Chains A and B, each alone.
Chain A
Amino acid sequence: MEKRELTCIRCPIGCHITVELENGEVKSITGNSCPRGEEYAASEVTHPVRCVTSLVRLKGGSRPVVSVKTKGDVPKEKMMDVVKALKDIELTAPVHIGDIAAENIAGTGVDVIVTSNDD
């Protein structure tokens, strides 16, 4: 039996939730005070995901970089792979919010899109 402690981030209360796992399966969730906490804890211990926000280099823009994000969540353990994969990407201005900066970043199946306009 594996025990995992985490802090719920669904609301400011920040419940300390304890999840008991057996062979990777959730056996019990305690400490949460609402169903949203249970949902968060379950997904956080089995397949935690994050949206990654970062920068890529920009040629010909008003600034040397432009902000980007993963269009959807990527597995938490892939966060650093995503930013590393962005290292060699260079876009050329103009760029607009929603433009695709990179497809299937770091093999996650998720695209990276531009989040600022630079004309």
Chain B
Amino acid sequence: MTDRKADLIIIGGGPAGLAAAVSARKEGLRDILILERDTRLGGILNQCIHNGFGLHTFKEELTGPEYAARFIRQAEEEKIPYMLDTMVIDISFDPETGLKKVTAMNPGEGIFTIDAKAVILAMGCRERPRGALNIPGYRPAGIYSAGTAQYYVNIEGRMPGKKVVILGSGDIGLIMARRMTYEGAKVLCVAELQPYSGGLKRNIVQCLDDFDIPLLLSHTVVDIKGKERVEGVTIAEVDENRKPIPGTEVFYECDTLMLSCGLIPENELSNKLGVKMNPVTNGAFVNESLETSVPGVFACGNVLHVHDLVDYVSGEAATAGKNAAAYIRGEKNEEGAVINIKTENGVRYSVPSTVRTGNMPDTLTVRFRVGNEYRDTNLAVYLDGKQLMRLPKRVMAPGEMEQIILVKSKVTDIVSEAGTADHELVIRVED
């Protein structure tokens, strides 16, 4: 077992890991290593060959591989070292030294450990499988999560089926409806359990409406037929409690059922490390620096909370990279007050969930999602009971991430008046 050292280990070479690495390097950090489990950098973007990426970051519309390539080029220009085909199998934290021991393996070097001053968790997320959705029926071939099907089509050039029903209107499901149609398959419909879609409006119009693929809101799959390969699925309408309404069943003859029913951050390593997790996001609790409960361990991208746009992932990751560099330089400011962010009345969570005013930048972006579709409401933000802002919102939906920007001077004004005790910032939906 070879033992090495590094200032910063970044776990994952997808959009989050790459942006974090580039940002840390721009902060002057030399000793960085990216560990990537796939055979190339870029992560899931490599299989997202559709366009719509980069409008915020590059002010132009790129495909996933093009967006990834820009960050890969930056990482290569910055000569940031990376290891491919490398799986991190364990991380531990030594409170005495503050070092994080990362254990990884790959076919070239076997198992090795690296002692790192800081770690950025950027492992991304996985898809919710059929079993977790409690869809009854047989278990034949032909049931794919949308991302698995996407890999097959876009990377391997092979068709996972010819006649497709999609359950779940998350963005990957919508995108796959169009992709499958373009590649010669027939997509019969997209069924969505909720009364609203979990995907972006743009995708509903351009991936479904353009091809006359019906979107069945408040519908779900209640049976899967076929013992060997899928032969069809039964779809029923659901009531307000999401329970199927008897008598509304319709059978769709198809050979494929694709599932796009939610993404789950992949935090198995974070759990091994003992990072405190938020049960709402399935990601870590982080502070304003995107630092987890374990000192010097940062998180960004979909491992932290599932994002809707990769541009936001890149921005968040750049913040994590910058803060990791500051941590390694020893610039920790534990002074100032701690503000706990509480979300309620429709706001499900926030990232970050705590803010130390001593480490707060001049403006701090707080991202969150709402739990329902809201029309003509307000986002209200209170700090220690005082209203900090009130933003009228035409529409908010669970599929789209929301954000507020906290201005440090306004925050510190209120906080310093109240003294040094813990403070509470509340974000809520109001009429």
On whether A and B touch (CB less than 8 Å), the answer reads yes
Residues of A within 8 A of B205 (CB): 6-7, 9
* Nearest CB in chain B: distance from A17 CB, A: 11
Tell whether, in the assembled complex, residue A14 and residue B201 are in contact, meaning their CB atoms are under 8 Å apart. Answer: yes
Residues of A within 8 A of B50 (CB): 53
Nearest A-chain residue to B399, judged by Cβ: A12
Is the C-beta of B65 less than 8 angstroms from some C-beta in chain A?
yes
A115 to B69, CA, bound (A): 9
Contact B394 A13 (CB under 8 A): yes
Taking a contact as CB atoms closer than 8 A, the residue among B66, B206, B395 that contacts A12 in the complex is B395
Most-contacted residue by chain B among A8, A65, A76, A80 (CB, 10 A): A65
Whether B202 is near chain A, meaning CB under 8 Å from some CB there, is yes
CB neighbors of A among B167-207 (8 A): 182-183, 200-202, 204-206
Residues A115 and B49 in contact in the complex (CB < 8 Å), given A12-B397, A51-B61, A52-B182: yes
- B378 on interface, CB distance cutoff 8 Å: no
B residues within 8 A CB of A27? Answer: none
> Do A63 and B155 form a contact, CB below 8 Å, given A97-B65, A115-B49?
yes
Considering residues B156, B157, B210, which has the most beta carbons from chain A within 10 angstroms of its beta carbon? B157
Of A53, A76, A83, the most chain B CB neighbours within 10 A belong to A53
Whether A64 and B65, one on each chain, are in contact in the complex, defined by CB atoms closer than 8 angstroms, is: no
Q: State the interface size on chain A (CB cutoff 8 A).
A: 28
Task: Give CA–CA (A115, B154) in the complex, Å.
Answer: 12
Contact A55 B201 (CB under 8 A): no
Complex interface: chain B residues within 8 A of A14 (CB): 201, 395
How long is the Cα–Cα vector from A22 to B106 in the complex, in angstroms?
66
State whether B69 touches A53 (Cβ < 8 A).
Answer: no
Q: How long is the Cα–Cα vector from A51 to B63 in the complex, in angstroms?
A: 10
Which residues of A have CB within 8 Å of B156? Answer: 63-65
Q: With the chains together, A57 CA to B158 CA distance in Å?
A: 11
Identify the closest chain B residue to A63 (Cβ).
Answer: B155
20 A-B pairs in the complex with CB atoms less than 8 angstroms apart: A6-B205, A7-B204, A7-B209, A9-B201, A9-B205, A12-B200, A12-B395, A53-B49, A54-B182, A55-B49, A57-B157, A63-B157, A64-B156, A65-B155, A83-B183, A97-B65, A115-B49, A116-B69, A117-B65, A117-B69
Given contacts A7-B204, A50-B206, 17 further A-B contacts (CB under 8 A): A9-B201, A9-B205, A12-B200, A12-B400, A51-B51, A55-B154, A55-B157, A63-B155, A63-B156, A65-B157, A67-B65, A80-B182, A97-B66, A97-B69, A115-B63, A116-B65, A117-B65
